[in-house]
Amino acid sequence: MNQNRKGLLLVVSGPAGVGKGTINNTLIERNSDIRMSVSATTRAPRPGEIDGVHYFFKTEAEFEKMIAEGAFLEYMRVFDLHYYGTPKSFVEQELSEGRSVILEIDVHGAMRVKAAYPDAVLIFIAPPSMSELKSRLIHRGTESSEVIERRFETAYQELEFVKQYDYVVVNDILDLAIARTEQIISAERCRVYRNGEMIEKLQGGRNAL
């Protein structure tokens, strides 16, 4: 029998600026059996965003039809304005074919996924310190100082949810953080409760001899 190679549903969260996008992109580049889930949204595409790559851009009517059809693994409406959701079909297709899927979603989405898929593995990417996080937010230079302050405030709110995650990976040195995340994925494949079939085959081996 081989070690379980079934796909894992991985949720990766963390505050803006912590580097989770870089970690996830490296993971999918290095591992052909890991894919990124693409979210659906009703908000307008920003310059450079491609439909089906960054998001599936939907009208409100299309999105609500998908909700009615149970097509989302999780979804939410932000500030009574835009919908965001994780389409179920892509995720379930990939998992059934043995690939793992990363959902890069916020803490609220993570909690909804955990409730619906208790086998999901929740990983929170944490900064080495909050002052380092602020410095990264400032230095990436893509947001106004007002937006940075808001993201920074949100980071503290997100920390309240860390204890409901399975793992916390400190992104102190990027290569280490990537390695830790890969080690978590490998280790999770060895969890006893993911290898029930293999164990039963070993136990049944007595009759086969």
List binders of a copy of itself among 141-180 (CB under 8 A).
156, 159-160, 162-163, 165-170, 172, 176, 179-180
**Vertex 41 angle, CA 35 and 42, to 5°:** 165
Whole-angstrom distance, CA of residue 181 vs CA of residue 197: 26
Residues 6+ apart with CB under 8 A from 42: 57, 58, 59, 60, 63, 82, 83
Q: How many CA atoms lie within 13 A of 17 on its CB side?
A: 26
Identify which range of 22-30, 44-52, 87-95, 194-202 contacts a copy of itself by CB under 8 A. Answer: 194-202
**Residue 136 near a copy of itself by CB under 8 A:** no
- Please name the residue that has the structure tokens 């940075």: 148
**Residue 209 near a copy of itself by CB under 8 A:** yes
Q: Report the residue number, 51 or 172, with the smaller CB distance to a copy of itself.
A: 172
Helix (H) / strand (E) element for 154: namely: helix 145-159
**Residue 184 near a copy of itself by CB under 8 A:** yes
Binding site for a copy of itself (CB under 8 A): 1-3, 123-124, 126-131, 134, 156, 159-160, 162-163, 165-170, 172, 176, 179-180, 182-184, 186-188, 190-193, 195-196, 198-199, 202-203, 205-206, 208-209
